[in-house]
Amino acid sequence: QVQLVESGGGLVQAGGSLRLSCAASGFTFNQYIMSWFRQAPGKEREFLTTITWSGGLAYADSVKGRFTISRDNAKNMVYLQMNSLKPEDTAVYYCAAKRGLTGSIAESRSYDYWGQGTQVTVAS
């Protein structure tokens, strides 16, 4: 059974940091591109960042320089280090897994598996 389980969300003051984790199971983790998305109330799901099986990276402009994605293929884990958080970063954060290189990494419909999400709230 495929599972992606996010953790590490919570309430933080503006300017603070959080580290999200995503534990993967039920599929061959090191053959999947892993990404983080977020969705704020009333808004579309937004691509944030991706990491390939070999460590290739991409970031959305909205988080570049503040967020860092990493993965540990030995532990089937992907992480999102979030620094300099802003109130507009408040959203539910999701990790997602994508097999192969077809389809856009920035489009949620390209992904095969999703976690249930973890809430991040940034207070001003």
- pLDDT by residue, tens only, the chain of 124 residues: 999 999 999 999 999 999 999 999 999 999 999 999 999 999 999 999 999 998 899 999 999 999 999 999 999 999 999 999 999 999 999 999 999 878 899 999 999 999 999 999 999 9
- With H, G, I as helix, E, B as strand and everything else as coil, classify residue 109: helix
What φ, ψ does residue 109 adopt, rounded to 5°? -70, -15
Q: Which residues on neighbouring strands pair with residue 67, listed in sequence order?
A: 82
pLDDT at position 102: 80
What are the C-alpha distances in Å from 86 to residues 20, 46, 51? 16, 16, 23
Residue-level pLDDT at 101: 77
For the chain, the straight-line distance linking the first and the last C-alpha, in angstroms and rounded, comes to: 40
